Amino acid sequence: MRLLIDGYNLMYAAGIVGPPGRGVGGLERSRAALIQFVAGTLEPGDKSSAVVVFDAAGAPPGLPHTLLIDGVTIRFAKGYADADELLEELIAADNTPRRLTVVSSD
C-alpha cells in the first residue's frame, strides 16, 4: 500500500499541535511528533511506501525538499503553493493511483 499524508492536516486532526505561543521550535516539535507517530504506527514494510508532505511555501532557506526519517519519506512542498499541489502531482504521477491511500482533510 502506498500512503500519501498531508502532514499538517493530520497533525491538526490528531491534536498533535501544541497550543500557540509555546515558544520557539513548537511547530518543529509538532512535526517531529507526527513523524514519530506515523513511523511508529506503520508496519516496517509499509514505511518505505509512505510519504508525508508538509506545506513549505514560506520555508526558511536551507530547508531540504526531501528527508528520510525512520524509513518514512518526508517531503516539503517548496516551490508549490501548498502541500495539496504536491500531493496532486504525486497522485497524477503514480502508475496505480487507485491503490493509493491519501490522508488529508482537503
Contact status, residue 74 vs residue 35, Cβ threshold 8 Å: yes
Q: How far is CA 32 from CA 89, 92, 106, in A?
A: 24, 28, 22
Report how far residue 19's alpha carbon sits from residue 21's, in angstroms, rounded to the nearest whole number.
6
Q: What pLDDT does residue 17 have?
A: 79
Predicted confidence band at 27 (pLDDT cuts at 50, 70, 90)? confident
| Full-model pTM | 0.89
Q: Which residue has the higher pLDDT, 76 or 17?
A: 76
Report how far residue 79's alpha carbon sits from residue 33's, in angstroms, rounded to the nearest whole number.
25
